[in-house]
Chain A
Amino acid sequence: MTEMTLLTKPAHELAALLRAGEITSEELTRVHLEQIEALNPTLNAFLAVDAVGALAAARDIDARRAAGEELGPLAGIPIAVKDNFCTRDLPTTCGSRMLEGWLPPYDATVITRLREAGLVILGKTNMDEFAMGSSTETSAFGPTRNPWDTDRIPGGSGGGSSAAVAGFLAPLAVGSDTGGSIRQPGAVTGTVGVKPTYGGVSRYGVVAMASSLDQPGPVARTVLDAALLHEVIGGHDPRDSTSIPGSPTGLAEAARMRDVRGMRVGVVKELGGEGYDADVEAAFLGAVELLKEAGADVIEVSCPHFTYALSAYYLIHPAEVSSNLARFDAMRYGLRLGDDGTNGAEAVTSITRGEGFGREVKRRIIIGTHALSSGYHDQYYGSAQKVRTLVARDFDAAFELCDVLVSPTTPTVAFRLGERMDDPLAMYKADLCTIPSNLAGNASASFPVGTSEEGLPIGLQVMAPPLADDRLYRVGGWLEAVLEEKWGGPLLQQMTPLPETKAVFA
């Protein structure tokens, strides 16, 4: 075993090596910091790297382990954090000029839980500005590139995290999913991304985009890793009123089951057809065949209102955005422009917001402000809320018949950088399949199912009822085992290694 093969190992295997004393967290952290140094200039996955803090945390875990302390299952494992999680004394920018250099005075609950579980925070990953985008191109700090093809996008908004995990810069990451920001990047980078049931993971300290849709979740290379991380970050938080009582259990167990016999699987009729890449549909249908062969009951179900989900989402989401982002007014923290003594407070706010927010953010603030304004409120925001209810009812009806629903995660493979930047609607369509679960609040995940003809990864989306997150892991764990056997190893092994990479498969 060389240091370089450590980079490609799943987190649960690394954890076993740490427990066995074969490697130290410091060693593991150092290898990842070196890989970041080598690859980040190409990928721009990290916006901030905390080498000093990470090594200190790693040494602390090593010392505690040496002292015989009982540690959590992922203690000592390095992790990347999306830049919208507040991290005490570590920059938190949300990919925006508006928060450039802002050092939060507090940790998000997820961060507290990571630290308590002994994970080592490597740094903060790039994202679309305030998580608005599906390509990480709206980041004020430049786009992130997809390690499979650096001319292509790594998905968004959590493209920094997906690229970091797919490019072996970190074995794990945490992200947030408002319309697909964990799942779609997972699909286009060949990694695992899970959006837990709304309320399953605390939002406290995650800079809000659309509060009723935002849900933090795990990003990983394997299903079991995602489950283990989900168990670390999940569970009730008294600081988040919308957080669900209790803790998630049985997720890792479900990931290890590797059996889908008797599971009722619904193929959502509306999520396919026109606008979907043939390769994506083929890979998806291939996975559905495997499910049938493995003894699952596969049926087709209709969720007629999913057709309107995207439209409803693009009213509810910007409405909440317009309110959540109002606090960035240059008064208390973050960017302040035009404060030269000639401008009053109102003008300073206006100048700062004008310069500090990017185009996509401004577009959504304007749409949201309009959707909520007097005289239009019922017509736009009100109607969208009704559609939201109908989408949730479609799910309810489908889950009467099925244990899980499946669809492609996103209609296409990773598109080229710049390809959709001037066409917001095309960009929004990347989230066509993922948005319904945000509107309804149920659990959903993306797992790698193959590659396109041009060698780009494709994801399968699994959707489960609220609180039945374990079913995602059961299907995902089985699928991974079957496919890896077929492929002769993980999908990421099919990626052409980047010239600068230090990662090697054993």
Chain B
Amino acid sequence: MTEMLDYDDVLENFDPAIGLEVHVELSTASKMFCGCSTTFGAEPNSQTCPVCLGLPGSLPVVNAKAVESAIRIGLALNCQIAPWGRFARKNYFYPDMTKNFQTSQYDEPIAHDGWVDLEVEGEMFRIDVERAHMEEDAGKLTHVGTSGRIHGAEYSLLDYNRAGTPLIEIVTRPILGTGAKAPQVAKAYVSHLRDLMRALKVSDVRMEHGSLRCDANISLAPKGAVELGIRTETKNVNSLRSVERAITFEMRRQGALLLDGGRVKQETRHFDEATGTTRSGRSKEEAQDYRYFAEPDLVPVAPSAEWVEELRATLPEQPVARRKRLAGEWDTDELAMRDIVAVGAMDMIEETVAAGAAPQAARKWWVGELARRANEGGVELEELAITPKDVAEVCALVASGELNDKLARQVFEGVLAGEGSAREVVDNRGLAVVSDDGALKDAVDKAIAANPDVAARIRDGKHQAIGALIGQVMKAMRGQADAARVRELVLEELG
């Protein structure tokens, strides 16, 4: 069992430093160096050609769209864009690399020296971005056998559909001075990148599909020390929650080790989602020599200043500015905006409003009912099987009085259960509020007849008793009545 130090004790004794390497898979139609499709989930090895299979004689050609995306990402991260840069070969043997070298950028990244400002619980943090560079993804290995790892596997299956998919790797400089908020700052940074990529429309940033992957470097230094401590690199941190958990775990693990007079081993560790722990992987001390050299099969990437400026003009609103603008448009206070950000509902609400819903209604459902359901299912909000258009439709039905809140919840339940669109669920489940006064009057009369005492009290002017009758009517109508109309009818009879 790993020794763990209490989080508070970690902070009392150490300053954490974190560094994040985020890989973003670009959503270009074709791969980084060939024309193969990048669609996720296709039949294994169906999206391959001599180039991404690394067949002898094949040569790479740079995907201009990927370069464009890389530049836009760099600009959005406030980076300098290199006017000239070469790709490099990173040489290592592994069966998921068809050429046994990865074509990447090494000392000449396309974007460098940028920054990101983040707000975490009212405090501002600046994250320095060291670089953002282009590279190609590897194929996918599936190890068959009880171990599930390459060692001890009976055999391994290789799918090269992903081989050659364009990646942007974004690397921060060490993030210092975050103290107790280190895990939250890291999470906020990754979340910010996710929002940014989405706004740039350069990636679908689905962490569960691996289109946004995060490696977290963590080290502890004695409080006040100038030099950074020895770091570990935790891989496989593939959800926002995991970013927070992995860093917290490593801080507590390293803290216990150091306080006990031990040494942190510089190594790669793997995060286990199920247990929330990290375990030792390959030791960095026996790390490979990648023998980098400039890729001779490609000409340098040399974006003109004019092109870079053209791309700068295509940048979307920065997330902080956008948040301010939306708060104004939605007439929402800071606290409510924070809730929206916390559940990751900004995009969904904006799209729901765009589909015709009132901002307050859209916010209510996404931050309330739907966030609750996402949380219960352990998924992100946008992974729910419901679209902003569905939610807008429900909002419209509520606004017109066709649905009440209770029925609306049932509609959401139906849509999430895959019963069709909001309209279809309303129709199939017969969920409309009964607006036929005849049917309502019958129910009201029956309720009055069944509860003479209550009716008498209302007649005597004790209007607070009316709720009991409304309840009876609603029950008889199986919830599909407009409570306000029922109240009016009761008062017409008894008032």
Contact = CB atoms under 8 A, between A and B. Distances in A.
A369 B93 CA distance: 13
Contacts of A203: 59
B61 A323 contact: no
A239 interface: yes
Contact of A207 (B53, B57, B62, B291): B57
A326 interface: yes
A99 interface: yes
B156 interface: yes
Contacts of A486: none
A374 B289 contact: yes
Contact of B296 (A92, A212, A377): A212
A241 B61 contact: yes
B95 interface: yes
B61 A207 contact: no
Interface stretch (A32-40, A66-74, A328-336): A328-336
Highest count of chain B CB atoms <10 Å: which of A84, A327, A346, A349: A327
Nearest to A206: B57
A241 B95 contact: no
B297 A327 contact: no
Interface in A353-386: 369, 372-374, 377, 381
Interface string B79-103: 0000000000101010100111100
Nearest to A382: B293
A323 B91 contact: yes
A473 interface: no
Contacts of A108: 57
Contact of A204 (B57, B62, B98, B158): B57
Contacts of A373: 289, 291
A374 to B, nearest CB: 5
A88 B188 CA distance: 53
Interface string A94-112: 1000010010111010000
A345 interface: yes
B59 A377 contact: no
A345 B155 CA distance: 9
Interface in B279-305: 289, 291-293, 296-299
Interface string A179-207: 00000000000000000000000011111
Contacts of B439: none
Nearest to A334: B56
A238 B299 CA distance: 12
B59 A326 contact: no
A105 B91 contact: no
B356 interface: no
A305 B50 CA distance: 39
B60 interface: yes
A326 B93 contact: yes
A57 interface: no
B150 to A, nearest CB: 8
A480 interface: no
A319 B156 CA distance: 31
Contacts of B491: none
Contacts of B50: 104-106
A99 B270 CA distance: 38
Highest count of chain A CB atoms <10 Å: which of B54, B93, B293: B293
B296 A86 contact: no
A241 B63 CA distance: 11
B46 interface: no
A369 B61 CA distance: 25
Given A326-B91, A326-B101, A373-B289, A211 B296 contact: yes
Contacts, number: 102
Given A205-B57, A241-B299, A327 B293 contact: no
A14 B54 CA distance: 40
B291 A323 contact: yes
A346 B94 CA distance: 9
Interface in B282-338: 289, 291-293, 296-299
A329 B61 contact: no
B449 interface: no
Given A326-B101, A373-B291, A86 B93 contact: no
Interface in B123-158: 150, 156, 158
Contacts of B291: 322-323, 369, 372-374, 377
Contacts of A328: 56
A242 B55 contact: no
Contacts of A85: 57
Contacts of A204: 57-59
Contacts of A116: none
A104 B57 contact: yes
Contact of B93 (A84, A329, A372): A329
Interface in B9-68: 50, 53-62
Contact of A239 (B59, B62, B91): B59
A320 interface: yes
B57 A345 contact: no
B45 to A, nearest CB: 10
A333 B62 contact: no
Interface string A220-241: 0000000000000000001111
A60 B330 CA distance: 73
Contacts of B296: 210-212, 242, 320
Contacts of A92: 56-57
A374 B57 CA distance: 28
Highest count of chain B CB atoms <10 Å: which of A207, A210, A326, A345: A326
Interface string B148-187: 0010000010100000000000000000000000000000
Contact of B62 (A210, A241, A326): A241
Given A241-B299, A374-B291, A208 B57 contact: yes
A329 B97 CA distance: 11
A9 B60 CA distance: 40
Contacts of A369: 291
B93 A323 contact: no
Contacts of A239: 59, 61
Contacts of A327: 54, 56, 98-100
Nearest to A368: B291
Contact of A331 (B58, B91, B95): B95
A204 B91 CA distance: 21
Nearest to B54: A327
Given A105-B50, A323-B291, A372 B57 contact: no
Contacts of A208: 56-57, 59, 297
Contacts of B53: 332
Highest count of chain A CB atoms <10 Å: which of B62, B89, B298: B89
Contacts of A240: 59, 61
Contact of B98 (A322, A332, A346): A332
Interface in A102-153: 102, 104-106, 108
Contacts of A105: 50, 55
A58 to B, nearest CB: 26
A373 B91 CA distance: 10
Interface in A45-82: none
Interface in B110-134: none
B31 to A, nearest CB: 14
Contacts of A326: 91, 93, 99-101
Interface string A234-260: 000011111000000000000000000
A203 B50 CA distance: 14
Contacts of A205: 57-58
B121 to A, nearest CB: 43
A326 B291 CA distance: 12
22 contacts: A92-B56, A104-B55, A104-B56, A204-B57, A204-B59, A205-B57, A207-B57, A208-B57, A208-B59, A240-B61, A241-B59, A241-B60, A241-B298, A242-B299, A320-B296, A322-B91, A322-B291, A326-B99, A326-B101, A327-B56, A331-B95, A345-B95
Please list the 3 inter-chain residue pairs (A to B) with the smallest Cβ-Cβ separation, ordered nearest first.
A326-B100, A212-B296, A372-B291
Given A104-B50, A320-B293, A372-B293, 4 more contacts: A207-B56, A239-B59, A239-B61, A333-B56
